[in-house]
Each structure stands twice: as C-alpha cells, then as structure tokens.
Amino acid sequence: MTQEDRDLSVLEEKIGVIFSDKDLLRQALTHRSYINENRGFSNGHNERLEFLGDAVLELAVTDYLFNKYPERPEGDLTSFRAALVNTSALSEVAIAIEVNDYILLSKGESKDTGRARSYILADVVEALIGAIYIDKGFEKSRGFINSFVLSRTEEIVEKNLWMDAKSRFQELAQAKEGQTPAYKVLEESGPDHAKKFISGVFLAEKLAGQGEGESKQDAEQNAATDALKKRDWK
C-alpha cells in the first residue's frame, strides 16, 4: 500500500470528523513537494486550503478570546491568540493527532527535522481546518479548533505563557536571580539581503543562551528561548 492509499479513517476518528469528500482530506495532507515529485498524482497540494484554514482559525480563536476575556485589552488578546496559533503550538496539535503519519511529502522534505518540520506540521493543521470548513462548515471546524487548539488557553493565560520569550525571560530572571538580561550580537554573516545573526543573552556578564535569526530581533528571541530551556523555566 502506498502513502497515497493509506486508510484515513483512523485520522478521521482522532479528529472527530468523517469527511464526505476524502480527496479533500487527502489534499489537506499533501505538501507541494510531493506533487513536484509525483507528476501523476491527481489531487492538488494543500496551500490554498492552508490559506483558508488560517483565516477560519483566526476568526474562531478571536471570537473565543473576545468572549472569554471581556475585561482584557486588545493587546493582551492579540498576544493570547499568537501563543495559541503560532508554529510551535500548531505543530504540537499535529503531533497530538498524529497527522505526521499521513502527510504526503517528497523524499527530501520527509527528511526535514526541527524547525523545518514544525512549519510543515503547522501548515497541515491549517489546511486541515480549511478542509473541514469546506466539507462540514464553520461550526464543525470551530469544534475541531475548540478541541485541539483552544484547550490550552487557560494554562497559557494563567502561567503567562503568552508573553514572548524575551519578556518571559526578563520577568523570570528578575524574579529568580535579581538580574536584567542583556543582549549582544555574537556573530553576523551573509550579504545584506540575506543576513544571519547569532545573538547571546547574558546575566551578570555570563552567557545564558544564544540563538540565530534573520534579524537581530529574531536572534534575540531565540536566545531568550534557549536560555529559558537551559534553566528549565517553563
């Protein structure tokens, strides 16, 4: 049995949606790279579904947060939403529903790990939401989002996990060690149009973590994330 012929009923059972159009579900699971490598494949790739699913996801999450937290300002709600729908959060959803077993990828893409795989997983979740919306309507797609995306809302809000990594690390560093983090660029490389930065975050002049990014801001955020992990400050 090829990847294309895999029985999707187990996945449907996990997500609580039985598709009328199985080809639509399979399309949501198909990465562009698979089409490029398998020219005879009859279905399309999932990028349009991802585009639609992103909009459905944003509306459902925004509506939920708006009604759940009537006293919180717009800035907080925006941060809550970002924490719920970012790449890391959506890739965790993909892992929870074991969607990785069903994604159609090229041989090259299937070897990707780490951040690259997280993007693929997150995109598939958005495409899946788009497919549910087309096949079953908004309420069914909202049901999926409630079950798998919004289930962590209270934990994120109560534990301040919605704060970006730099803000979180500064808050905890000041509370636990009485120190304010300082950031320095450790390395800069590449041409102007494709710069790469490696930044370090320091506490009392000691390197606490480092990270890479295409901007100084991204590198600093990744350095703060690294420092949080190294100190096990969740």
Range of the domain at 80: 3-158
Among 117, 133, 158, give the residue marking a domain's end: 158
pLDDT score at 62: 98
Q: In Å, what is the CA distance from 4 to each residue of 1, 23, 49, 105?
A: 8, 10, 18, 10
Q: Is 98 found in the same domain as 11?
A: yes
Q: Record the tokens describing residue 104, joined without a space.
A: 């159609």
pTM over 0.85, yes/no:
no
For residues 98 and 121, membership in a common domain is answered with: yes
Please tell me which residue in 54, 135, 220, 226 is annotated as part of the active site: 54
Between the CA of residue 27 and those of 31, 104, 132, what are the distances in Å?
A: 8, 9, 12
Which CATH number does the domain housing residue 217 bear? Answer: 3.30.160.20
Chosen domain end from 131, 158, 185: 158
Q: Is 5 a catalytic residue?
A: no
Let me know whether 88 and 49 are in one domain. Answer: yes
pLDDT range class, residue 197, cuts 50, 70, 90: very high
Nearest to 184 by CA among 168, 203, 165: 203
Q: Is 39 helix (H, G, I), strand (E, B) or coil?
A: coil
Residues 194 and 132 both lie in one domain: no
Count of domains in the chain? 2
Question: Is a pLDDT exceeding 70 seen at residue 96?
Answer: yes
Q: What is the distance between the alpha carbons of residues 122 and 104, in angstroms, rounded to a whole number?
A: 14
> Rounded to an integer, what distance in angstroms lies between the CA atom of residue 25 and that of residue 208?
44
Mean pLDDT score of the chain, rounded to an integer?
90
What the block records as the tokens of 75 is 């800035």
CATH number of 147's domain: 1.10.1520.10
- 54 and 111, same structural domain? yes
Within 10 Å of residue 163's Cβ, how many Cβ atoms? 16
Residues 102 and 152 in one domain: yes
Across 55-63, average pLDDT: 98
Instruction: State both tokens at 156.
Output: 């994120």
The answer on 80 and 51 residing in a single domain is yes
Show which of 130, 158, 186 is a domain's final residue: 158
User: What's the token pair of residue 114?
Assistant: 């780490």
Q: What is the pLDDT of residues 22-33, one digit of tens each?
A: 999 999 999 988
Q: Has residue 2 got a pLDDT over 60?
A: no
Contacts 24+ apart (CB under 8 A), 221-225: 221/164, 221/165, 221/166, 222/165, 223/183, 223/199, 224/164, 224/165, 224/166, 224/168, 224/169, 224/181, 225/165
pLDDT digits (tens, 9 = 90+) for 120-151: 999 999 999 999 999 999 999 999 999 999 99
Residue 136 and residue 221 in one domain? no
Concerning whether 220 is annotated as a catalytic residue, the answer is no
Catalytic residue among 126, 135, 220, 226: 126
For residues 37 and 44, which has the higher predicted lDDT (pLDDT)?
44
Report the range of poorest mean pLDDT among 65-79, 101-115, 220-234.
101-115
pLDDT at 20 over 90: yes
Would you tell me how many other CB atoms lie within 10 Å of the CB of residue 195? 14
